[in-house]
Structure 1
């Protein structure tokens, strides 16, 4: 048998092996699904987003591309609703299991054993009554102390004894845990019963003081309750500083919102195409032309200001206005339509703030502040929103009055008042 025939035979054998393995995997999956349904549980191959819509704490509530996949749902032996679901976003992918609590409660994070705190969690670490190797995080330490009764701690230690680690959280009316043992149905059933026991003890704990309101329906963002997912809004192409060249312009991942009393923002990705003709030489040495279409995208992030302002730009480096701080001049380049306005706004405390909290380059144009973040994601929006609120609060009152406002629209958030250099 020559080498060509051997190669063909190998390809045929590999193809046959692949088909066989695919059939085996399909049969095993069907057997697994049947074993779930034999217990009275529901299996959904491609659940809708509303399967996780009510969840807002990590791994949920983060990212723009969130996708639930295989879902198992049902009731525990005592009738407590549960679901085990595969979930992915830009920041995390894996399986999550949860049972329903009787009340909506504040977020709480408990980790122990061979596990790590979840990405994106913003919480205060509090003393743990669970012993060495455990970490507990909460926004309200008093709530954490109220939840972790001796009975709850006992059940958590039982759960930890059955696996390599515990990564547990409270997300509204759901008690959520990462990495459920979903491959073995019997083990999963036992695991759900243990999780339901923890939930029952929490339900019996007097926690009504901390009951939370119902979360608005829809895609929400962790710790940003006033952000709203829009998705697509091509009307923004007419009102924002997008690249004008090219064709087939469109928007995606549009978000509107604000943080607290900060300025409202709009953020999205702008897509467009360009077409060019290039010359090349074919295999016979003849000159030919072809049309090349290239795809482009850029992030757009703008905050609406309460009044029109003179043009002002703060960049990382370059030639600009000279300020009294040499360290500031080395780190930033400020250019402005009105140098006096720049000096009024970029005073010594403002320079300290900028150096301590370096922002993405931004420019003020009329009544908008546009940031060049380089990326369109949740952390970039949140960082710019937080920075700009602090920046605006440090603009002296006389500067706002010169613009036509009676006083600063953004009072200082710290205890030290912003110096009013014009008074």
Structure 2
């Protein structure tokens, strides 16, 4: 078979895939719009303006072409929230060996009553990158069990102690969501993230967890 035939077949297959992808995305946008309307939320297919709020993981990763898609916002359990799909690209190599890979993350955040110092709590052993903030360091609490289970990074020890009081530590140690849900207090919000494309089924459980976490912070912390 002549080489040009392969090019023609490849072109037809590529065009077919692009049409399918466009139709699939169009249906997804229509579905997300309907869900947002039913729940009294706002939905925007694209809005990269939301990317300027947080600076820690995964936004501190090297890359380019950063985008935010499927942006939901509104109120959940009385708290303003924002959820979306975050993507960035990493290009490596050169010439014929040049490759570009796209990374996908699901992001969920709720607003806190006031802006407080940065505090990140994640599963111990994940090897997460250090936050891009001056003065942020690892912290060890009095609970040996908690220290074995979680990594705490903070720029203010007192804020960390106030947030992670004994009752909250006990709750996190026994809640199966906690090890798989990294959280960070930053710039007036509590944010969590996970590798993968946006998923409606993922959103509400994470928002519930974030709201519960904020509700466990003593009132005096916000005053």
State the SS of the aligned residue for 1:381.
Answer: helix
Q: CA deviation at 1:244?
A: 6.8
Counterpart position of 2:39? 225
State the SS of the aligned residue for 1:379.
Answer: helix
Counterpart position of 1:337? 155
Structure 1: any 5+ residue segments left out of the alignment? Answer: 1-45, 50-63, 69-88, 90-217, 280-288, 402-423
> In structure 1, what is the Cα distance between the partners aligned to 2:213 and 2:153?
16
- Going from structure 1 to structure 2, the CA distance change for 1:320 and 1:249 (only over 3 Å counts) comes to closer
- Going from structure 1 to structure 2, the CA distance change for 1:346 and 1:226 (only over 3 Å counts) comes to farther
- Going from structure 1 to structure 2, the CA distance change for 1:339 and 1:243 (only over 3 Å counts) comes to closer
> In structure 1, what is the Cα distance between the partners aligned to 2:141 and 2:61?
35
- Going from structure 1 to structure 2, the CA distance change for 1:304 and 1:397 (only over 3 Å counts) comes to closer
- Going from structure 1 to structure 2, the CA distance change for 1:345 and 1:229 (only over 3 Å counts) comes to same
Q: 1:269 aligns with which of 85, 98, 105?
A: 85
Counterpart position of 1:300? 107
> In structure 2, what is the Cα distance between the partners aligned to 1:400 and 1:260?
18
Counterpart position of 2:165? 347
Higher relative contact order (CA 8 A, sep 6+): 2
Q: CA deviation at 1:317?
A: 0.6
> In structure 2, what is the Cα distance between the partners aligned to 1:232 and 1:333?
33
State the SS of the aligned residue for 1:309.
Answer: coil
Deviations 1:42-71 (A, max 9, x none): xxxx9xx9xxxxxxxxxxxxxx93889xxx
Q: 1:370 aligns with which of 181, 191, 194?
A: 191
Larger Rg: 1
Counterpart position of 1:311? 118
User: For the Cα contact (< 8 Å) 2:44–2:70, is it kept in 1?
Assistant: yes
- Going from structure 1 to structure 2, the CA distance change for 1:355 and 1:295 (only over 3 Å counts) comes to same
CA RMSD for the aligned pairs? Answer: 3.2
Deviations 1:353-403 (A, max 9, x none): 2123233111111312221233432233212211222222222232222xx
Compare the two structures and name the one with the higher helix fraction.
2
Counterpart position of 1:234? 48
Q: CA deviation at 1:245?
A: 4.4
